[in-house]
Homo-oligomer: A and B are copies of this chain.
Amino acid sequence: MQHVVQHLIQGNNSKIILVVLDGLGGLPTDGKTELENAHTPHMDALARSAACGLHIPVSFGITPGSGPGHLGLFGYDPLEHQIGRGILEALGLGMEVGKTDVAVRCNYATYRGGIITDRRAERIPTEKSGLLTEKLQHNIRRIDDCEIILAPGMEHRFAVIFRFPEPLFPDAAAINDSDPQQEGKPPLQLVGSSQAAEKVVSIAQQFLHKAAAVLQNEDKANYVLLRGFSVIPHLLSFSEAYGLNALAIANYPMYRGLAKLVGMTAPDIHGTVQDEIDYLKKHYNNYDFFFLHIKKVDSSGEDGNYDKKTLKIEEADRLLLQIIELNPEVLVITGDHSTPSQLKSHSWHPVPFLIKSPYVLGNLCTAFSERECLKGELGILRTIHLMPLALANAGRLKKFGA
């Protein structure tokens, strides 16, 4: 739909706020989902007067990762635009990625007599891994005309960006993993399946040789495996697609990174949800779209902690009052996917949403929950439809056809 929407955009002074309670949707424990169990007077009041429904991030039965989940909320079809593993890892580690970058996930590994004896170098501690990554970065800053940028991750993980002087072709990252996926096998030879990729392979091979030299005296982490070569997807910016000047407020790097991929301003924010809201209020006059990300609802779902997820939803509800008082023309509250604490993981279940605007039927739901939103005026729809709905309610879309 985005290519249709793009041609209907008209500007005005409206404000749109999208609040994402990450992993909001849930499943019942003792009959009630986390959202049904939580005391959420503000969201319930909104739901009574809002347009409600449930959204499907990718398709029925498909469990989305965070990348597809957010792309969908931003109005980009996750089936058309896929974010490579290397890019997502780099974003998650707070790295800036641009059009001249190839990003790759790396593992420290143990290499003996031509074979990989441990693909994760016995999961060396994060602190040790951080020191090694610092040492690698100190010794390897540039290969030919390519800048090498490293970022440490948890345990054996880190990421590398190969930054070239010129923008890359989309097929520049068509390169296999060097990780053999099994211990007792030699690392796989990197092969580029395009001319552009062959150039990247030549840099990556030099990087691997140099890294092995730097790590040669290490007992466990004496080798590096590369996975998920990727370049950033070509996405229209929010400004190009919607004519919106957008601010992302997220205290986790991956979500800032995803927002930057679609051209949002996404400053480094550290702190609580209250800090996020303070930031939003402070910059409310300078933008017309705001994406506010609340992470801990998902984290407690992933931990399988039903009570904590309930509490995190309640906390968000209390703080939401400050957002409501800003009285934006359109306020959307939802999640990027479901994370039932029963499953301790993301899931495929439809995600409840509400759209507060004067231009709705309302009076269909008594509260904000999975089951109440089923009675809402928008039914079950694909996530990518939320942005056009937000734009329409903000008066930012012209008529289609005459």
Contacts and interface: CB of A to CB of B under 8 A. Distances in A.
Interface stretch (A15-23, A307-315, A317-325, A362-370): A362-370
Contacts of A362: 28
Contacts of A89: 402
A377 B28 CA distance: 13
A400 B63 CA distance: 6
Interface string A361-402: 111100000110011011111000101111111000111111
Interface in A27-76: 27-28, 31, 33, 58-68
Interface stretch (A146-154, A176-184, A343-351): A343-351
A191 interface: no
A83 interface: yes
B359 A340 contact: yes
A212 interface: no
A78 B400 contact: yes
A100 interface: no
A8 interface: yes
A388 B61 contact: yes
Interface of A: 1, 4-5, 8, 27-28, 31, 33, 58-68, 78-79, 82-83, 85, 88-89, 340, 342-343, 345-350, 358-364, 370-371, 374-375, 377-381, 385, 387-393, 397-402
A388 B60 contact: yes
A378 B67 CA distance: 24
A399 B64 contact: yes
Nearest to A58: B400
Given A33-B361, A362-B28, A391 B61 contact: yes
Contacts of A378: 60, 350, 380
Contacts of A377: 350, 370-371, 374
Nearest to A33: B361
B346 A62 contact: no
A27 B398 CA distance: 19
B27 A346 contact: no
Given A343-B359, A370-B377, A377-B370, A8 B62 contact: yes
Contacts of A62: 1, 4-5, 8, 388, 392, 397, 400
Given A340-B359, A377-B370, A401 B61 contact: no
Given A61-B385, A378-B380, A397 B348 contact: yes
Contacts of A79: 4
